[in-house]
Structure formats: structure tokens, C-alpha cells
Amino acid sequence: MDINVRKRLQVQVIQLRGPLRLGDAVDGLRNTIEEAVGNGDTRIVINLAEVPMIDSSGIGLLVRYLASLKQRGGNLKLVQPSKFTVQTLRLLGVLNLFEVFGDDDAAVESFA
Amino acid sequence: MPAEFPSSSKNVPSSQLLNLNIPANSEAIATAVDTISETLGQLNIPEQKRLEIGLAIQEALANAVVHGCKNDPSKHVRCQLESDPLGRILIIVTDPGPGFNANLLSDPTAREKLYGDHGRGVYLIRQLMDEVHFERNGNQIRMWKY
């Protein structure tokens, strides 16, 4: 999985490319979020436009950090999840836990 | 919703498409899932169905590696892909572990479980596939997609 990170208006925008599943992909995203949190960043946007699927380990990671970031006054918001990712999140009853946006700018500006 | 024990598919002969012996590590799982998805694509299985089957296999293999093999890379998981004359797809995943009772798993969509970081795999498989059977004390899963 490719992971690119940029910072805009005090928000970490993480762009993923490839399946988010058990192994290097989930470990890489966990490390990326941990690094952001370690730097004091608790506002995170994850762009899923190029993520064809997320497995249960990836979803577990997202909801875990959603909860911990919210506890620290931040949030974790999603951008452009695929139709299948939306279906998966809905099947597991967690879709409504997340704020979902159509593009990075809208997600970033929602923190203002 | 998937049916647990329907009679329709149990006695229909199927032909084997793939028989994989997968080392118990996450990268080997990813390679196997990609190989199976490619094979399903060659059979002109629609994309939505391929995605659902691929994710179900990902979850079944992950359970087999993490729980059945305890992440021991010297162990292996068998994954068989078959199709029957009606075009239905059967996946059988077998691990060398002691098995488990799938009926004892809790519901990950319960309010108090929503923020948990694990425990969703089997539930997801049951949602994505049309038939799901746990056999051999639970160390073998047989799942059908119609």
C-alpha cells in the first residue's frame, strides 16, 4: 500500500492507495497515525478514493483511532470511500460513526 | 442474510479451480487473495461478487493464520476454490489449529462492541457469503457464493 501524508490547516491528510488489509497496509497506516498523534496532531483525514477494499483489521484500526482521537478532542474523517467500502462499513454497523466527505478540502474545512 | 445449513448446494458436484497451500503470514494471504480474485475475473464473475468473495477469503485466511496457526510462518493453510455446474463458487479454508465454536462469537454490531478493534471477521463472512459452514471442530470453513 502507498501512504502519502500532507498537512493542511493543522489537519493531517493521509492518502492511501491499495487494499487496506492485515499486514503491511494496516501496520503502515497504524504507524502513520501513531506518528501524527506523537506530534500532537489529533485531526486526521483519510482519503480512501484509491482503496478498493478494507478488511476487518483495517476497520478495527479506523474505529479504534476514531475513538481515541475524539477522546483527545480531535477526529478521524473519511474521504471518498468506494461503494464496496461503504457497504462493508454499513454491514458492520460502523458507517454512521464516521463523518464522510466527497473531497479533502471539505473534510479539512469541516474541522474549522 | 446467509443461510447456515441449506440443503441446496451440499451434494452438487463441483470442479476444482485452485488448490493453494499458503504459508501462515499476512503477505502470503494477500498474494492468495489476489490470485483468487484474478481467477474469478477470468471466469467473468462480476466485480461486486469478486469483491465480496475476495473479502470473505481475506477474513477466512486471516482467521486461519492468526488463530489456527498462531502466526507461526512454518505452518500452512489450505485454500480450495471450486465452482459447480450452476456457476456457484465454493471456497474451503482449512487450518491446522484445534478449531473453535463459531456459534459462541459475540455480535460485533452490538453497541458496546462498535469501537472494538477485532472480532468482526466471521460476522463479515456470514454477511458477504450465501452459505457458511464450519466443520472439523471449526478449523475448516466452507463458504458458497451463488
pLDDT, residue B12, reads 62
Position B69, amino acid: C
Q: With an 8 Å Cβ cutoff, is B39 touching chain A? A: no
Q: Which three cell numbers stand for residue B42?
A: 477470468
B83 part of a folded domain? yes
Give me the interface pTM, i.e. the ipTM. Answer: 0.93
Report the pLDDT value the prediction gives residue B104, as an integer from 0 to 100: 87
Q: Is the pLDDT of residue B1 over 90?
A: no
pLDDT score for B10:
57
| Structural domain boundaries enclosing B125 | 15-145
Q: Do A63 and B30 touch (CB under 8 A)?
A: no
Q: What is the pTM of this model?
A: 0.92
B101-143: per-residue pLDDT in tens?
888 899 999 999 999 999 999 999 999 999 999 999 889 999 9
Give residue-wise pLDDT tens across range A80-96.
999 999 999 999 999 99
Residue B7 placed within a domain: no
Q: What is the pLDDT of residue A95?
A: 98
CB-based contacts of A95, cutoff 8 Å, min separation 6: A86, A89
Mean pLDDT for all residues in chain B: 90
Per-residue pLDDT tens for B8-45? 455 666 788 999 999 999 999 999 999 999 999 999 99
Q: Which residue of chain B has the CA closest to A89?
A: B124
Whether B9 is covered by a domain: the verdict is no
Answer with the residue of higher pLDDT: B6 or B82. Answer: B82
Give chain B's domain count: 1
Q: Indicate the DSSP class of residue B113.
A: G
Q: Is residue B5 part of a domain?
A: no
Domains of chain A: 2-105 (3.30.750.24)
Is some CB atom of chain A closer than 8 A to the CB atom of B31? no
Domain-embedded: residue B137: yes
Which of A21, A61, A64 is opposite residue B58, by nearest beta carbon? A21
Say if B1 falls within a structural domain: no
B85 in a structural domain = yes
Q: What is the per-residue pLDDT across A23-44, written as a single tens digit (0 to 9) for each?
A: 999 999 999 999 999 999 999 9
Residues A80/A48, Cβ–Cβ less than 8 Å = yes
C-beta of residue A22 within 8 angstroms of C-beta of residue A37: no
Angstrom distance (rounded) from CA A102 to CA A78? 9
Which residues 30-49 in chain A show a CB within 8 A of chain B?
A: none
pLDDT at residue number A12: 97
